[in-house]
Amino acid sequence: MTADSSTIGRKPVMADVARLAGVSHQTVSRVLNDSPNVKDQTRDRVLHAIRELDYRPNSAARALVTRRSQTLGVVSFDTTLYGPASMLYGIEQAARSAGYFVSIASLRSLDARSMQEAMERLHDQAVEGVLVLAPQISAVGALAQVSGEVPVVAIGSGPQARVPAVAVDNKAGARAVTRYLLDLGHRTVHHVAGPSTWLDAQMRLAGWRATLAEAGAAEPAVLAGDWSARSGYEAGLQLAEDPEVTAVFCANDHMALGLLRALNEAGRAIPGDISVAGFDDIPEASYFTPPLTTVRQDFGELGRRGLELLVEQIEGGVRVRPRMLVPPELVLRRSTSAPRG
């Protein structure tokens, strides 16, 4: 069985495979779609022809036969933040391993109208299911307006989501780092919070607040940040003026970076005068000065679990509404210690 000269210089098509294998076009289609109604000997001939010709099935044509596009939609938002970008990478890797393509709709804002338009675009591409990166309150509200034409899974959403969801246990992570600082002997822990419109920020604030209350520790005024190093720096300038401050928990590592610079410029030793902790464990956290104690969340794992939950619904044909929490990990480094004296 040898390829003829007619296929040289052009991309092979299914008819070429059928001709080389000595079978019908329909038989090739059955082999490609893993139909059981093909003899083993015939299947082997077709697969040999596919390899010899280096034939690549046309995904659009295959979708017409199987009524499956093997494509998943992802609704994200226009951001360069480390977490969402890492989740997208995790989703794409997991989709490839599961045999799916990914089509991404990136929005400037996660409001109801933008969400609906994104869903319509993805439906036009015949996606079999949709993952939505939903870390903001507006995204959860927008998800409530989404039709149930295909399975939808939210990643990063809070308990209010009306669809299956996967999220890191932000509250548990905040509790762990706050409890650790209190156990070191600090009388209380100050907090630089993320934007109030973000569910992650809300849960981290709640975890910090609950742990202080349980310990009978005073609750200092919350300093509002916006995830940026600049906002952490501005918070650090305020905290550096207060000699009573001995421990600070920042809601993400970038704000902790800005805080570290402000405290250093003010002559406050870290961790001798003030212990500093963050959240996320970005790749640079271990190279801060000093290396940063933080709460690690595996963004890639969040993406993988979200995709697995979506594929389970698509291939199982059952719509479920679980909420999966991924536990974070407290990572201890040299930015925290017991208070002096």
Supply the pLDDT for residue 138. 76
| Nearest-angstrom CA–CA distance, 280 and 253 | 6
Burial 286-315, CB ≥16 within 10 A → b, else e: eebebebbbbbbbbbbbbbbbbebbbbbbe
Residues 235 and 148 placed together within one structural domain of the fold: no
Rounded to 5 degrees, φ, ψ at 233 are -65, -45
Which CATH number does the domain housing residue 55 bear?
1.10.260.40
Domain assignment of residue 338, yes or no? no
Residues 281 and 315 placed together within one structural domain of the fold: no
Domain assignment of residue 334, yes or no? no
Q: What SS3 class is residue 74?
A: strand
Domain count, the chain: 3
Supply the pLDDT for residue 285. 97
Torsion sign over Cα 173, 298, 333, 246: negative
Residues 75 and 100 placed together within one structural domain of the fold: yes
Supply the pLDDT for residue 5. 53
Please give the DSSP secondary-structure letter assigned to residue 77: E
Supply the pLDDT for residue 159. 64
Supply the pLDDT for residue 60. 45
Residues 118 and 164 placed together within one structural domain of the fold: yes
Residues 188 and 214 placed together within one structural domain of the fold: yes
Domain assignment of residue 238, yes or no? yes
| CB 46, CB 39: distance < 8 Å | no
| Nearest-angstrom CA–CA distance, 278 and 193 | 10
Domain assignment of residue 151, yes or no? yes
Domain assignment of residue 340, yes or no? no
Which range marks the domain in which residue 181 is found?
170-297
Residues 196 and 115 placed together within one structural domain of the fold: no
Residues 140 and 126 placed together within one structural domain of the fold: yes
Supply the pLDDT for residue 320. 66
Which residue, of 66, 100, 118, is where some domain finishes?
66
| Nearest-angstrom CA–CA distance, 302 and 12 | 39
Which residue, of 18, 42, 66, is where some domain finishes?
66
Residues 90 and 102 placed together within one structural domain of the fold: yes
Supply the pLDDT for residue 334. 98
Supply the pLDDT for residue 64. 44
C-alpha to C-alpha distances, 153 to 90, 96, 97, 122, nearest whole angstrom: 15, 18, 18, 14
Residues 178 and 124 placed together within one structural domain of the fold: no
Residues 191 and 264 placed together within one structural domain of the fold: yes
Which residue, of 66, 98, 114, is where some domain finishes?
66
Domain assignment of residue 102, yes or no? yes
Instruction: Give me the average pLDDT of each 10-residue run along the chain (341 residues).
Output: 59 84 84 78 88 70 56 80 79 82 82 81 85 79 71 78 85 98 98 94 97 98 97 98 97 98 97 97 96 93 86 75 87 97 72
Residues 162 and 309 placed together within one structural domain of the fold: yes
Number of Cβ atoms within 10 Å of the Cβ of 269: 11
Residues 286 and 219 placed together within one structural domain of the fold: yes
Domain assignment of residue 199, yes or no? yes
Which CATH number does the domain housing residue 205 bear?
3.40.50.2300
Q: Which distant-in-sequence residues (6+ apart) come within 8 Å of 106 by Cβ?
A: 76, 77, 78
Domain assignment of residue 341, yes or no? no
